[in-house]
Structure 1
Amino acid sequence: MKLFHIIAGLLSLGAGGLAFYALKGGTLHRKSGMIFVYAMLVMAGSGAVLAILKAEKLNAVMGVLTIYLVTTALLTVRRRARVINWIDLGAMLVAVLVGGYEINLGFGALHSPTGKIDGLPPAPAFVFGTVALLAALGDLRMMLAGGLQGVQRIARHLWRMGAAMFIATGSFFLGQAKVFPEQVRIIPLLVIPVLAVLLTLLYWLVRVLILKRVPHRVS
C-alpha cells in the first residue's frame, strides 16, 4: 500500500501542477485535473489507512480532510449550478467532524507532556481544523442559498482544489523532507514549491473574486 501511496502522491503533484497553472477550462486543465483528483483520492485514502495502522491520528484525519476537499471541489463543477442534494449534507457533517477532531487534537497536544501530537506541534491541527470548519460553513451557506452559480461557484472549486494541492505539496516537500538527498534537504529550498502553490491559489482567487475575470469553462 505504501508503494501505491508514493506513486499516487507523485502523480498528484505532477497532474496538480499542470492543472493549477494551465488555462482554466481548457483541455489540459480538465484532463490533468481529473488525473489529479483520482491520484489524490488514492494518495489520501492510502495515507489515511497507513496512518491509522501507525496510530498517527493527525495524519489519518488529514487524509479524510483531503478526500473531502477534492470531492466537494469536483462536485461543484461537475453538476449544474444551483443544485444541492444529500451528498452536500453528508460532506458538511464530515467537515464538521474532521474540524472538531483536529482542534481537539491540538488542545490535547497543548496539555500533553511533550506538547506535540504524533511528533508535531499543535499548530497544523489548529490551522487545518479551522480550514475544515470554514469549509463546513461554506457548505451550509451553499445549501441555504439553494446552490451556487457564477463567480462563487468557481471560487469554491478553486480554493478547495488549491487547499488539497497545498496539503499534498506540504506533505511531500516538508513532511517527507528526510527522503531528499542531504545536499538539497534545506528547508528554505523545500518550502518554495509549497509557497508557490499558496501564491498561485491567492492569484486565482483575486482574479475570480475581485477582478471578476472568470474562465468560460471550469471542469
Structure 2
Amino acid sequence: HICGGVVGLLSGIAAMSFRKGSSRHRVAGNVFFFAMLTMASTAAYLGNLFGGASALYLVTTGWLTARRREGETTIFDWGALLFGLAVGVPIVTDGLRIASGSIPPKPGVPVGMILFLGSVVLVAAAGDLRMLVRGGGFGRQRIARHLWRMCFGLFIATGSFLAQRRVMAFLGGPKIMLLAPLPLLLMIFWLIRVRFKNAYERKSVTSGDVHALPT
C-alpha cells in the first residue's frame, strides 16, 4: 500500500510536470494509474473499503477518458456510474449518521472529510450520467473530466503517503499534512486554464487522445 502511494505520488507529480502530449507524460500517467490501482486495492483489503473504492473509481474513469475518442462510450461507463453511486451514497450516509450522532465517529477520520469524499464521488457519478446522456465526452468537458479525476487521485495518493506515521515523523510532524491539498490547488489551476486558455478552444484531435492536445 505504501509503495503504491509513493510511486503514485512521484509519477503523478511527473505527469503534471511533463508537457501534455509528450511520451513522458503518457508513460508517467500510465505508471500513476497502475500505482493507484495497487494503492486502492490494498487500501480496500486493509479495511478502508470505501476510500480505496473511491480512488479506484475516480482514477479508472479519468484514465479511460484519455484513452478514448470523442463521443465514445461503452457498457463499462454504465457500470462505472452504478459503481460510483454504490460507493458515494454509503459514504455520504455514514457521514450524515456520524454528524447526527447515530453512529460513533471513525478514529482519525474527520466527519467533514467523509462527507467531502462522498460528495466528490457523487459529483463524479453525476458527471458520468451527463456524459452518457450526451453520447460521450467532447472538447473541453472531456479534457476537464480527465484532468480533475486524475488530480483528485493524486490528492488521495498524497494524503495517504503523508498520513503514514513514519513518513509524518520523518518529515517533521503533522504540519507536513499542510502539503496534502496541493494537488487540489493544481487541479483548480489546470481547470481554469482549460476553461479559458485559447489553446483549448479548438476541438480534440481526430485521434481522440486527450494527451495529444497542447498545453
Q: Which amino acid aligns with 2:34?
A: Y
Q: Do 2:97 and 2:103's aligned partners in 1 also have CA atoms closer than 8 Å?
A: no
Q: Which amino acid aligns with 1:108?
A: R
Instruction: Give a deviation string over 1:7-52, Cα, whole Å, max 9, x none.
Output: 221111111110022211211110010000011101101111111x
Corresponding position of 1:54: none
Q: CA deviation at 1:181?
A: 6.1
Q: Choose from 186, 190, 196 the match for 1:204.
A: 190
> Gapped runs of 5+ residues in structure 1?
52-58
Does residue 24 of the first structure (1) align with residue 20 of the second (2)?
yes
* Number of equivalent positions: 205
> What is the rounded CA distance, in whole Å, between the counterparts of 1:93 and 1:69 in structure 2?
13
Q: Do 1:70 and 1:160's aligned partners in 2 also have CA atoms closer than 8 Å?
A: yes
> What is the rounded CA distance, in whole Å, between the counterparts of 1:20 and 1:209 in structure 2?
17
When residues 151 and 191 of structure 1 are mapped into structure 2, their CA distance, relative to the original with a 3 A threshold, is same
CA-based RMSD: 2.0
Q: Do 1:16 and 1:32's aligned partners in 2 also have CA atoms closer than 8 Å?
A: yes
Q: Do 2:155 and 2:182's aligned partners in 1 also have CA atoms closer than 8 Å?
A: no
Corresponding position of 2:45: 49
> What is the rounded CA distance, in whole Å, between the counterparts of 1:184 and 1:122 in structure 2?
26
Q: SS of the counterpart of 1:213?
A: helix
Q: Do 1:115 and 1:121's aligned partners in 2 also have CA atoms closer than 8 Å?
A: no
Does residue 159 of the first structure (1) align with residue 159 of the second (2)?
no
Could you say which structure has the greater relative contact order, defined with CA pairs below 8 angstroms and 6 or more residues apart?
A: 2
Identity rate of aligned residues, in percent?
Answer: 38
* Length-normalised TM-score, structure 2: 0.88
Q: SS of the counterpart of 1:83?
A: coil
When residues 181 and 142 of structure 1 are mapped into structure 2, their CA distance, relative to the original with a 3 A threshold, is closer
Q: Which amino acid aligns with 2:177?
A: L
> What is the rounded CA distance, in whole Å, between the counterparts of 1:170 and 1:7 in structure 2?
14
Does residue 179 of the first structure (1) align with residue 201 of the second (2)?
no
* Length-normalised TM-score, structure 1: 0.86
Runs of 4+ deviating beyond 4 Å = none
> What is the rounded CA distance, in whole Å, between the counterparts of 2:68 and 2:144 in structure 1?
15
> Gapped runs of 5+ residues in structure 2?
none
When residues 179 and 83 of structure 1 are mapped into structure 2, their CA distance, relative to the original with a 3 A threshold, is same
